[in-house]
Amino acid sequence: MSHAFAVDRAFATVAFKRRLAYKTQWMVALVLGGGAMLVSMAMWRYLLADGALSGYDWDSMRAYIIIGFITATVVFGAADWNIADRILDGHIAVDLTKPVDFQRARAAEYIGSMASTVPTVVVGVIGAWLLFDPPGPASPTAGVLTAASFVLVFPLAFGITYMTVLVCFWTKRYLGVMWLREALLSFFSGMMIPLAFMPSWLQAIAWALPFPHFTTTPAAIYLGHVDTAGALGLLAAEAAWAVGLWLGARLVFRRAVRKVTVHGG
């Protein structure tokens, strides 16, 4: 393993351990993380009792909700505050004295913290599978491509989060930025309601943004709403957003780092 990957792994491991350091919080998330999913299931079961709505019947909605649970748990459970805090309280000064690429180190940390939510995902998915018996993927290929879409959620989530965290260099506050990002992500990803329920102009806006890849893309591939070519196209778009945000963040950081003003020791 090259030195750079060993450093990435070390950062990711430390971030993972930091999440586990707060055992009670982690255990509560593990046991109760699926609670919101149960509420969603109950609501949609009621709404779909009379048949399909906008192409979703109870069968496909069960799978959709589980997919939404997976991405929401991984994305909202990551440690974005750690990066924001370091910028806001001046600890970035310490980070900048280390022989590592700031963005890459934060990405490794972020992915390590996302990985700490995987046990919650596993417990939640197993529980949901036993309770609700959702349909399997439309085809083995769809299953594999759905898994690929989940994997791409990690760099994509980092790209969006990191970009918004860098805004702290200008805003000097993070809370509002985080609320805005989470609201946009919840809404335009389809986590709250599937995009198919939205008017076409709103769907067009959603697809012009990276957010649908957090739930709508893996769900569409899994449920067979798109064929293999369509699935590959969605994955290419998801990957392109991840790469674009990565490169864009580099440009933003280059400007942002000039704004470092750490006073007083």
Partner 1 sequence: MPILEARSLTKTFRRPDKASGFKGAVKHLAQRKYKNYTAVDGIDLSIDAGESVAYVGPNGAGKSTTVKLLTGILKPTEGTVRVMGRDPHTERIANAHDIGVLFGQRTQLWWDLPVEESLKLLKHMYGVSDADYKARIAKFDELLDLGEFMPALARTLSLGQRMRADLACALIHAPKMVYLDEPTIGLDISVKDRLRAFLREMVNDGTTLLLTSHDLADIEEVCERIIVIDKGAVAYDGPITELKAHYITTKAVNLYLEDAVDVPALAEKFPEFTWAAGEAPSEVTVTYESARFSTAEVLGSLTAQLAPRDLSLSEPSIEDVIRRLYAGELTR
Q: What are residue 56's DSSP bridge partners? A: 53
The count of chain residues that interact with partner 1, using the rule CB under 8 A, is 28
Question: Closest CB to partner 1 among 7 and 221?
Answer: 7
Contact positions with partner 1 (CB under 8 A) in 97-116: 97-101
Residue 53 phi, psi dihedral angles, 5° rounding: -130, 130
Q: In the set 47, 96, 175, 208, which binds partner 1 (CB under 8 A)?
A: 96
For residues 218 and 150, the answer to whether their CB atoms sit within 8 Å is yes
Answer yes or no whether residue 88 interacts with partner 1 by CB under 8 A: no
Instruction: State both tokens at 199.
Output: 């008017």
Question: Closest CB to partner 1 among 18 and 45?
Answer: 18
Q: In the set 23, 42, 91, 129, which binds partner 1 (CB under 8 A)?
A: 91
Cβ atoms < 10 Å from Cβ of 14:
13
The one-letter code for the residue type at 6 is: A
CB neighbour list of residue 103: distance below 8 Å, 6 or more residues apart? 162, 246, 249, 250, 253
Nearest approach, Cβ of 12 to partner 1 (angstroms)? 11
Q: In the set 51, 140, 199, 264, which binds partner 1 (CB under 8 A)?
A: 264
For residues 242 and 219, the answer to whether their CB atoms sit within 8 Å is no
Which one of the spans 4-12, 58-66, 182-190, 207-215 is the region binding partner 1 (CB under 8 A)? 4-12
Nearest approach, Cβ of 24 to partner 1 (angstroms)? 13
Q: In the set 31, 39, 93, 122, which binds partner 1 (CB under 8 A)?
A: 93
Is residue 22 helix, strand or coil? coil
CA–CA gap between residue 145 and residue 147 (Å, rounded)? 5
Question: Closest CB to partner 1 among 8 and 238?
Answer: 8
Contact positions with partner 1 (CB under 8 A) in 6-45: 6-7, 10-11, 14, 17-18, 21-22
CA–CA gap between residue 20 and residue 63 (Å, rounded)? 29
Answer yes or no whether residue 51 interacts with partner 1 by CB under 8 A: no
Answer yes or no whether residue 251 interacts with partner 1 by CB under 8 A: no
CA–CA gap between residue 128 and residue 134 (Å, rounded)? 8
Answer yes or no whether residue 262 interacts with partner 1 by CB under 8 A: yes
Angle (nearest 5°) at CA 24 between 121 and 107:
55
Interface residues toward partner 1, by CB under 8 A: 3, 6-7, 10-11, 14, 17-18, 21-22, 90-91, 93-94, 96-101, 257-258, 260-265
